[in-house]
Amino acid sequence: MSPKLRPLWVAVAFLMVVSSAFAQSRSGSERRRSRRVRERPPSYSMGYANGGSLANGVRLVEDARVRYLPGRRHHHGTEELVAMLRRASAAVARDFPGSRLTVGDMSDHDGGPIGHHASHQSGRDVDIAFYARDARGRARVLDDYVSFNGRGLPIAGGPWRFDVARNWALVAALLEDPAVRVEHIFVSSPLRSLLIDHARSINARPMLLVRAQLVVHQPTHALPHTNHFHVRIACPSGDAQCVEGIKPRPRPRRRRVASARSSSDRPAHGRAASSSLRRR
């Protein structure tokens, strides 16, 4: 080999060695990634929140920023819900150091009905106790749900105060989550007003304020939620069997005697027909 060409060949050999090592390392990382995927298959929310199930649910684990409300045993959700709660609890703790999110019921490991809840079946629901302060303004964690009125005072009396600044920080973190869309945050109308008024007073971003006014509300067919937030996320993208909204209740069946009658027997007018059916 010509001495002039030797440096060129050395450079080519060096590049081949480096690219081979890079390829090996990439295939190794791909294998690790696929193994990770096999170890934890993606979660799936299926069906309605009040008539569905959860596949491969993820458990929300307690840590420095998240704790369970004592006595609550259902802490599974979709991976999106669990990740969102982690981000939201971290956001509140950044603004209010030492804060821990107190989480009530989520869903069962496989979803389906759980006691005391019509929904919470498909891994998209979570109950969250309010952040509270004591009468001297010190942050406190609640070991049970406490109902508050529109002035932020406990309805049944007691030393707690609704911590409007921290509760708004939580709502804002949930609504501004970068990866998950919140479908509803249920809370009573008086507490909603406290939160919205606070957001206005601190000049919350107009878009956030509008979104809060749309998403945070008192439910129409359930208890008003004076003692906790009920948060429901939208269907995660890719969960093809997930259904938003509420599963309609089956309509009451008409009495069979009406359909058994011959057409000539039927009264000519609807109102007469229905009153006749009611009497029977």
Residues of this chain that bind Zn ion (CB under 5 A): 127, 230
Q: How far is the CB of 233 from Zn ion (least distance, A)?
A: 13
Q: How far is the CB of 26 from Zn ion (least distance, A)?
A: 45
DSSP H or E stretch at residue 127:
strand 125-129
Structure tokens at 150: 């529109």
Cβ count near 270 (within 10 Å): 8
Structure tokens at 47: 């069906």
Q: Give 127 or 163: the residue with its C-beta nearer to Zn ion.
A: 127
Provide the residue count of the chain.
280
Strands (DSSP E) contained in 21-105 are 44-48, 51-55, 58-59, 66-68, 76-77, 101-103
- Residue with smallest beta-carbon separation from Zn ion: 230
Q: How far is the CB of 232 from Zn ion (least distance, A)?
A: 8
Q: Give 146 or 199: the residue with its C-beta nearer to Zn ion.
A: 146
Q: Give 74 or 166: the residue with its C-beta nearer to Zn ion.
A: 74
Q: Give 192 or 230: the residue with its C-beta nearer to Zn ion.
A: 230
Structure tokens at 10: 């050395």
Q: Give 70 or 159: the residue with its C-beta nearer to Zn ion.
A: 70
Taking the C-alpha atoms of residue 5 and residue 219, their distance in angstroms, rounded to an integer, is 80
CB of 81 within 8 A of CB of 128? Answer: no
Query: Going by C-beta distance under 8 Å and a sequence separation of 6 or more, which residues neighbour residue 167?
Result: 130, 131, 195, 229
Taking the C-alpha atoms of residue 93 and residue 146, their distance in angstroms, rounded to an integer, is 21
Structure tokens at 247: 């599963």
Q: Give 99 or 107: the residue with its C-beta nearer to Zn ion.
A: 107
Q: How far is the CB of 100 from Zn ion (least distance, A)?
A: 19
Q: How far is the CB of 127 from Zn ion (least distance, A)?
A: 4
Structure tokens at 231: 């948060």
Q: How far is the CB of 62 from Zn ion (least distance, A)?
A: 19
Q: Give 102 or 199: the residue with its C-beta nearer to Zn ion.
A: 102
List Cα–Cα distances, 270 to 176, 183, 202, 273, 275, in angstroms.
Answer: 52, 40, 58, 5, 9
Q: How far is the CB of 81 from Zn ion (least distance, A)?
A: 13
